[in-house]
Amino acid sequence: MTTAVDDAAARRSQLAAIEQSGVAERFHLLQLRNPALWVLLWGIVAGAVRTFTFYRPGTGNYGGALAAGSVTFAIYTVAWLVFLHWLDRYTPMRPGLLAVGFIWGAFAGTLFLALTVNTALLTLYAKWFGPTWANDWSAALTAPFTEETAKAIGFVLLLGLAPKLIRSAFDGFVLGAFIGLGFEVAEDVLYVYQGASGHFGTRQVADSVQMIAARSVAGVASHALFSALVCCGLMWILGRDPRGRHVGKGLLLVVTAMVLHGCWDASATIGTSIGGPVLGAAMTPILVVVGIAVVLVVGRDAAVTDRGWARAILAPEVERGTLDQAELAAVAGTHRDRRHFVKAAHGHHGRRVAKHLVAAGRDLLEAIGRSGGEETPEVEHARQEVARLRTV
């Protein structure tokens, strides 16, 4: 039996978690007195202009490839957005903030900053060390620095615009993934467009399909992953997570992202140098597995703060009987907690209901956070949906 003291303590913890996480804060882009806004807009507008001027001359000859790449990777983006929405399930970030991050990565980060600097450096490498060496190693010694810096600039600008919304290492992890996704999609479309010019444009369909397939597979562990690690590391370096400042951990994440990026760009060369053509061909799947393993470990550690906030936000719902402790653990816990909760249900139907109950608990968590802990129609609706599924 709970007491009034318990209820009051849970309520205080709930309000503190909502305030600390910034989950109830709104994202305001147009802060006219904030210099970060003007730098951000300058980068995005310049990137959009550069994108238009880059593609315009070739649309007559390679417009089909450009359209195919754009449509395919738009669908690819939707799949990524569904996954990232599922990932950001504890104290969800504002969609507007994530959208601006995506746009920075797609326009400012790719064709405006990274492509400009990459082109200059790749030319210098070819002059200094010869075309053969440059073909094997120049991308690996250029892109990790230029491209991760271009994406990180956008993250820092957004941190200047929304410091109350980016409050934990996991926030950096999620926002970084969105910035990297924007960069990745724009780069994939660029590769399809450039690939269509191979064979003097006589095999546009085959070349485009081949490039789309290759980039789709590679994208599983590419820029979204790299940027998630870099921006999470920046949050530790800056001390933005309530657990304190950890410069060593932050630098390790940044370096890890750059090493993975470099290995990715020189995967065939590295694999062939170590183990011949067989290992050269196997390097891509190896790097995908390693990258996913790294990001899972980092994401789990980064989410500790957000899981604590989620528990505190939902604790009063346990006191009032909306959820029990097992359900709270499934909603605000790790993937293992959710899997254990679902497996504990009886039969296929019971496990299905358990999954829906966890999803309803997430909706309740988000509704309470967005309302600032106040009673609103959205909160009551989410609460009723949890109660309905519990009766099932």
Q: What percent of the chain has pLDDT over 70?
A: 97
Q: What is the mean pLDDT of residues 356-364?
A: 93
Determine the Cα–Cα distance for residues 262 and 181; give it in Å rounded to an integer: 18
Contact of 385 with 360, CB cutoff 8 Å: yes
Q: What is the mean pLDDT of residues 351-375?
A: 93
Residue 7, in any domain of the structure: no
Same domain (yes/no): 243, 290: yes
Task: Give, in order, the Cα–Cα distances in Å from 391 to each of 14, 163, 324, 357, 386.
Answer: 26, 41, 13, 10, 9
Rg of the chain over all Cα atoms, to the nearest angstrom: 23
- How do residues 290-318 score in pLDDT, each as one tens digit? 999 999 999 999 999 999 999 999 999 99
Q: Which pLDDT does position 255 carry in this prediction?
A: 96
- How do residues 147-183 score in pLDDT, each as one tens digit? 999 999 999 999 999 999 999 999 999 999 999 999 9
- Say how many domains are in the chain: 2
| Residue 166 parent element (H or E) | none
Same domain (yes/no): 343, 257: no
Q: How sure is the predictor about 2, in pLDDT bands with cuts at 50, 70 and 90? A: low
Q: How sure is the predictor about 24, in pLDDT bands with cuts at 50, 70 and 90? A: very high
Of residues 44, 69, 53, 58, the one with CA closest to residue 188: 69
- How do residues 229-259 score in pLDDT, each as one tens digit? 999 999 999 999 999 999 999 999 999 999 9
Same domain (yes/no): 60, 153: yes
Q: Name the residue type at position 218.
A: A
Q: What percent of the chain has pLDDT over 90?
A: 62
Determine the Cα–Cα distance for residues 208 and 220; give it in Å rounded to an integer: 19
Same domain (yes/no): 171, 73: yes
Q: Which pLDDT does position 202 carry in this prediction?
A: 65
Same domain (yes/no): 139, 168: yes
Of residues 22, 300, 325, the one with CA closest to residue 361: 325
Q: What is the end-to-end Cα distance of the chain in Å, rounded?
A: 25
Residue 283, in any domain of the structure: yes
Same domain (yes/no): 177, 249: yes
Same domain (yes/no): 126, 166: yes
Same domain (yes/no): 286, 381: no
Q: How sure is the predictor about 10, in pLDDT bands with cuts at 50, 70 and 90? A: confident
Q: Which pLDDT does position 57 carry in this prediction?
A: 85
Tokens of 306: 């957000």
Of residues 293, 309, 357, 307, the one with CA closest to residue 335: 307
Q: What is the mean pLDDT of residues 281-296?
A: 88
Q: How sure is the predictor about 77, in pLDDT bands with cuts at 50, 70 and 90? A: very high
Q: How sure is the predictor about 134, in pLDDT bands with cuts at 50, 70 and 90? A: confident
Which of residues 272, 305, 338 is at a domain's end?
305
- How do residues 92-119 score in pLDDT, each as one tens digit? 999 999 999 999 999 999 989 998 898 8
Same domain (yes/no): 163, 96: yes
Say what the pTM is.
0.93
Q: Which pLDDT does position 1 carry in this prediction?
A: 53
Residue 313, in any domain of the structure: no
Same domain (yes/no): 275, 365: no
Q: Which pLDDT does position 241 carry in this prediction?
A: 94
Same domain (yes/no): 263, 334: no
Q: Which pLDDT does position 147 carry in this prediction?
A: 95
- With 80 as the cut, is the pLDDT of residue 337 above it? yes
Q: Is the C-alpha dihedral spanning 189, 222, 114, 95 positive or negative?
A: positive
Q: Which pLDDT does position 198 carry in this prediction?
A: 67
- Quote the domain boundaries for residue 174: 26-305
Residue 114, in any domain of the structure: yes
Q: What is the mean pLDDT of residues 377-388?
A: 94
Q: Which pLDDT does position 267 carry in this prediction?
A: 84
Which of residues 305, 337, 372 is at a domain's end?
305
Same domain (yes/no): 353, 300: no
Which of residues 247, 273, 305 is at a domain's end?
305
Determine the Cα–Cα distance for residues 202 and 213; give it in Å rounded to an integer: 19
Task: Give, in order, the Cα–Cα distances in Å from 154 to each of 37, 179, 247, 258, 306.
Answer: 11, 8, 21, 17, 23
Answer with the residue of higher pLDDT: 1 or 215: 215
Contact of 361 with 323, CB cutoff 8 Å: yes
Q: Which pLDDT does position 3 carry in this prediction?
A: 67
Q: Which pLDDT does position 200 carry in this prediction?
A: 61
DSSP assignment of 46-77: HHHHHHHHHHGGGHHHHHHHHHHHHHHHHHHH
- How do residues 186-230 score in pLDDT, each as one tens digit? 999 888 888 877 666 667 777 778 888 888 777 778 899 999 999
Mean pLDDT, the chain, whole residue set: 90
Contact of 34 with 161, CB cutoff 8 Å: yes
